[in-house]
Amino acid sequence: MQHEMKPTSVSTNAAHFSNNTDQFGFDAELHQSGKNKAPLFHFHDFYEFAIYLGKEPARYRLLDQEYEINFGDIVRCDLMDEHMWLVGDNEQHMRFCVGLTFNFVMSCSTKSDNLIQIFSRNGNSYPVLHLGSLDIHKYIDLINAFQDCTLEHGKMVFQLGILHQMLAYLQDDFLRFNSGGAPLTRQDNLVCELINYINLHIGEDLSLKTLGRVTNYNPTYLSRTFKSITRSTLKLYIDEKRINTATLLMGKGTPLTEIAMEVGFQNYCTFYNTFRRIMGVSPESYAKTHSSGESDSRRLLPWQANG
C-alpha cells in the first residue's frame, strides 16, 4: 500500500525550534515548503531525529562526513554534534524533524529500554537508519496523526502520545541494526549530567569549582571531557545557554536588569558584553526588535537552529 503525506498548511519556521524545546522538552515540525531556514553548520544541546520523506535524495553533513539521505531514512543527531542539511529548499526534501531534551528522553525510558542509546554516536548505524519505503509507513501514519490533531483541549497530551509511539518504533528499529544496543561511555554520561545540571541551575553559580563539587569530578577533567565530547568549551556553552534563556524572558517583557540577574550574570555590564558578543546586537536592540514582531530576523545561536 502506498502511503503519502497529507497536505498541510504548516510552513517551515526553524528559527523558533529550540525555544519550544527549552519550554516543553520537545518540539516537532514538518519541513515541506519554503527555503531551508538553517543552511549553516550548527549544533544544539538536545537530541534530534528526522524522518526523511523527500521525493529527491538529500545530502546531510555531520561533523566531517556527508551522507546521502533517501526516502525512508531516519537521521539521528547526538547532543552537540555539528550538522546541517545540505538542501536549499524543502519542496523536494520533505522531512519531519523532532528535537528532544535529555530529560524528555530519560522520562520516556525504562530499565529495559534506555532510549538515549538511539542517539549515541557509538552505534554502528549512526547517524542514518536505512528503513526504506516499506518500514517507514508506520511513522508516516503517526506524522499524519500529529499534523491532523484539531483538539481544542488536550492537544499537547495527544502529541506527546504520538512522540512516545515514534520513540518506541525507533527503539525497535534501532535494535534491529544494533544488537545489544550502543552503550554509553562514562564520558557521555558525565556530559549529560553536566548539561542537565546547567539547564536546571542556569541562574546560579556555574563555576568549574561548583560543577566539580556537584559531579564529584576534578574541574580540569570536567573541562577537558566536555570539550572532547562536544567540541565546545564549558564557558561558551554556559554563556550561550544563559543568553538563549535571556531571549526567552525578553519575550515575556521582563526588565533587562532583572533578566541579567535571573540568568546568572553578576552585573549588567557583563550581561551586556556577553549578549552583544553572542547575538551581534545589544540587549536593548534585540528586545526592541523582538517586541515589534520582527524577531525572525535575529541571529541564531549555533544550537538554536534546526535544519
AA identity, residue 218:
N
Strands, E assignment, 5-146: 26-31, 47-52, 58-62, 65-69, 73-77, 83-85, 95-100, 128-130
Dihedral sign for Cα atoms in the order 291, 293, 299, 300: positive
Give me the CATH topology for the region 14-177. Jelly Rolls (2.60.120)
Given the C-alpha cell 549530567, which residue does it identify?
A: 193
Q: Which residues contact 169 (CB under 8 A, 6 or more apart)?
A: 138, 139, 142
What's the pLDDT score for residue 158?
A: 95
Which parts of the chain sit beneath pLDDT 50?
A: 1-19, 292-307
3-class SS of residue 140 = helix
Hey, what CATH class is 186-304 in?
mainly alpha
What's the pLDDT score for residue 183?
A: 67
What's the pLDDT score for residue 274?
A: 96
What's the pLDDT score for residue 65?
A: 95
Question: pTM to 2 decimals?
Answer: 0.72
Q: Please name which of 39, 67, 38, 72 lies closest in space to residue 55, comparing C-alpha atoms.
A: 72
AA identity, residue 68:
E
Given the C-alpha cell 524543502, which residue does it identify?
A: 90
What's the pLDDT score for residue 138?
A: 96
- Residues 75, 58: Cα–Cα separation, whole Å: 11
Q: Which residues pair with 68 in a beta bridge?
A: 59
What's the pLDDT score for residue 291?
A: 64
Long-range contacts, stretch 229-235, CB < 8 angstroms, 24+ apart: 229/80, 229/187, 229/188, 229/191, 230/43, 230/79, 230/80, 230/191, 231/43, 231/80, 231/82, 232/43, 232/80, 234/194, 234/208
Dihedral sign for Cα atoms in the order 98, 5, 62, 38: negative
Domain coordinates in residue numbering, the chain:
14-177, 186-304
8 Å CB contact between 42 and 83: yes
- Residues 119, 109: Cα–Cα separation, whole Å: 13
* Cα–Cα separations (whole angstroms), residue 87 to 5, 103, 141: 20, 31, 25
- 57: preceding bond cis by omega (within 30 degrees): no
Strands, E assignment, 78-119: 83-85, 95-100
User: Please, where are the H alpha helices in 149-215?
Assistant: 155-177, 186-200, 208-215
Strands 83-85 and 73-77: unpaired
What's the pLDDT score for residue 298?
A: 33
8 Å CB contact between 42 and 97: no
* Topology alike, domains 14-177 and 186-304: no
